[in-house]
Amino acid sequence: MDHRKNPICDICGEVQDCFKRLKVLKVKGEKTYMCKSCYRDKRHNHRNVTKREFVPIIIEEKKEKKKKEYIPKRYKKKTNREVVQESEAPIKIKGAKIRKKPNKSYSYLTLQEKQMMYNNLKRKGMSHEEADEQVKEFCKALRQTKI
Ligand SMILES: [Zn+2]
């Protein structure tokens, strides 16, 4: 049907004065010509339908998105890896002091000190073997005592 020559509303069938009075609605390439009142009604209904059915869904989706995306600033800096490591660490008790392991620093004699001790013992009249043994024993005893 040629709407230019015969301006008829496709919905209510009312003949219009002029082609320009008709509104055109394109849906998937198919044109439907409507008079002003039909067009207004259709738009109105469509808007009501979208308001009733689609708007609440859209609002809920937006809310859920916001909930998922919201992370407090203090947690944002930590990466997932750091959080895992923290959980594996020993639990801190409030007010308790964690003792550090004492550094293993044993007292020892330098070579010169050993020689001095050896010479002193020899001067007192000890033999070579006795003096050597005594120095070694003294060093052993020193190694066992912690500072
Ligand atoms: Zn109409």
pLDDT in tens, 75-87: 665 555 555 555 5
Residue 128 inside a domain? The answer is: yes
Q: Does 101 or 18 have the greater pLDDT score?
A: 18
Residue 74 inside a domain? The answer is: no
Neighbours of 43 (CB within 10 A): 13
C-alpha 23 – ligand 1 centre gap (Å): 10
For 56-65, b/e burial (b = at least 16 CB within 10 A) is: eeeeeeeeee
C-alpha 49 – ligand 1 centre gap (Å): 20
Q: Does 18 or 106 have the greater pLDDT score?
A: 18
Residue 5 inside a domain? The answer is: no
Among the ranges given (74-78, 112-116, 122-126, 137-141), the one the predictor scored with the smallest mean pLDDT: 74-78
Residue 79 inside a domain? The answer is: no
15 forms beta bridges with 8
Token match 């230019």: residue?
4
pLDDT, the chain, mean: 80
Q: From 52, 69, 86, give the residue that closes a domain.
A: 69
- Does residue 56 surpass a pLDDT of 70? yes
Domain that holds residue 65: 19-69
pTM, rounded to two decimals:
0.36
C-alpha 21 – ligand 1 centre gap (Å): 11
Environment of ion ligand 1 (residues, CB < 5 A): 9, 11-12, 35, 38
* Count: domains in the chain: 2
